[in-house]
């Protein structure tokens, strides 16, 4: 693996964080979080400086009951010019639901590993790519911008078992289709700094001007190490989840995303601007821990004060 320069002058001066807790975090909770609580948390996260927030997903409520109020959440979102709200969709039915709401940004997610695609969507990757092409066209025709998310890029059943050539070819296939951004997801938390460098660099060679996002889970405790490697590769856009909450209901053992507060603290220490007040995010995390009577996996929210959100 090539060594990257981690000196301040070699790292990005500014990083964008997209808060995915209201979707990726909340979906993992058994106790239903009332719609008004979700809205209050989203508003508090926006007040904390998070300019991109994934607010829900449009999936069948039998599979993910926590997201059964997707339309109600979207209808109640506070009007803000400084925040981009997005929703996750997995199929055409979900896309049609999303386009019937106020959302103007769609996060479309497809598998890159055939076994994962068959296990979770009952289709091959080739079929998923074909469906994604149609969905991107429908969304863009409706005036929505689209982020395309590639799932399990760093492994599904074992680290690295997703073929790199397939990830690169899929990237090449969708480059030039007017995507708002492309996201590489470490859905199972199998990435390490070596595979981050390998796969990010390979995708960067073909992605053109489309912004690259990393969606990292901290299942094996390497989340922030992977952020460091990605920064050295020039990545400046990451998904994070307040207090590290969340996981994937369809991937056994998968834990939450990298913690928003922990990531903000790391970036602050590196002199990288995020525009996010980590302590204000921690207040939301404490509120949710009290509401759900549990402790989330992140670190910094526990070290910062417990001024519970009113």
Mean pLDDT over 210-225 rounds to: 95
Give the pLDDT score at 310: 43
Instruction: Enumerate domains of the chain plus CATH numbers.
Output: 14-303 (3.20.20.70)
The torsion defined by the Cα of 186, 192, 195 and 196, in degrees rounded to 10, comes to: 70
Confidence of residue 250 (pLDDT cuts 50, 70, 90): low
The per-residue b/e assignment along 144-153, b for 16 or more CB within 10 angstroms, e otherwise, is: bebbbbbbbb
Please give the share of the chain, as a percent, with pLDDT higher than 90: 83
**DSSP label of 33:** P
For the stretch 49-92, pLDDT in tens is 999 999 999 999 998 999 999 999 999 999 999 999 999 999 99
**Binning pLDDT at 50, 70 and 90, where does residue 9 land?**
low
Whether residue 183 is predicted with pLDDT greater than 90 in this model: the reply is yes
Question: SS3 string of 54-96?
Answer: EEEEECCCCCCHHHCCHHHHHHHCCCCCCCEEEEEECCHHHHH
C-alpha to C-alpha distance for 280 and 207, rounded to whole angstroms = 35
Tell me the per-residue pLDDT of 278-287, one tens digit each, with 9 for 90 and over. Answer: 999 999 999 9
Angle at 238 between CA 174 and CA 274, to 5 degrees: 135
* pLDDT exceeds cutoff 60 at 2: no
pLDDT, one tens digit per residue, over 138-159 is 999 999 999 999 999 999 989 9
Work out the average pLDDT over 121-140.
93
As annotated, the active-site residues are 248
Q: What is the average per-residue pLDDT within 161-183?
A: 96
Position of tokens 């807790």? 21
> Over the Cα atoms of the chain, what is R_g?
18
How high is the pLDDT of residue 120? 75
176 against 119, higher pLDDT: 176
Q: Is the pLDDT of residue 32 over 80?
A: yes
The pLDDT score that the predictor gives to residue 5 is: 61
pLDDT mean across residues, the chain: 92
CB atoms within 10 A of CB 128: 24
């Amino acid at each position: 693996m090539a060594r990257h320069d981690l000196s301040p002058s070699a790292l990005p001066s500014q990083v964008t964080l997209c808060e995915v807790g209201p979707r990726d975090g909340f979906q993992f909770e058994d106790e239903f979080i009332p719609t008004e609580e979700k809205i209050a948390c989203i508003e508090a996260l926006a007040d904390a400086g998070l300019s991109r927030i994934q607010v829900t997903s449009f999936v069948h409520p039998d599979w993910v009951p926590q997201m059964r109020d997707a339309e109600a959440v979207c209808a109640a979102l506070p009007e803000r010019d400084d925040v981009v709200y997005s929703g996750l969709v997995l199929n055409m039915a979900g896309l049609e639901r999303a386009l019937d709401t106020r959302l103007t940004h769609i996060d479309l997610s497809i598998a890159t590993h055939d076994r994962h695609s068959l296990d979770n969507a009952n289709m091959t990757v080739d079929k998923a790519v074909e469906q994604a092409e149609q969905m991107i066209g429908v969304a863009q025709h409706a005036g929505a911008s689209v982020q395309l998310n590639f799932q399990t890029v760093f492994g599904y059943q074992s680290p690295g078992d997703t073929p790199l050539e397939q990830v690169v070819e899929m990237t090449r296939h969708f480059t030039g289709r007017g995507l708002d951004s492309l996201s590489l997801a470490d859905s199972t938390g199998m990435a390490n700094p070596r595979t981050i460098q390998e796969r990010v660099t390979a995708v960067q060679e073909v992605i053109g001007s489309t912004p690259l996002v990393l969606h990292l889970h901290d299942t094996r405790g390497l989340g922030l190490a992977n952020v460091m490697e990605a920064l050295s590769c020039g990545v400046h856009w990451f998904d994070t989840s307040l207090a590290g909450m969340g996981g994937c209901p369809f991937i056994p053992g998968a834990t939450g995303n990298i913690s928003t507060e922990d990531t903000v603290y790391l970036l602050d220490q590196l002199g990288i601007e995020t525009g996010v007040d980590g302590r204000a995010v921690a207040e939301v995390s404490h509120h949710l821990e009290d509401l759900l009577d549990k402790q989330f996996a992140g670190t910094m929210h526990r070290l910062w004060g417990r001024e519970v959100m009113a």
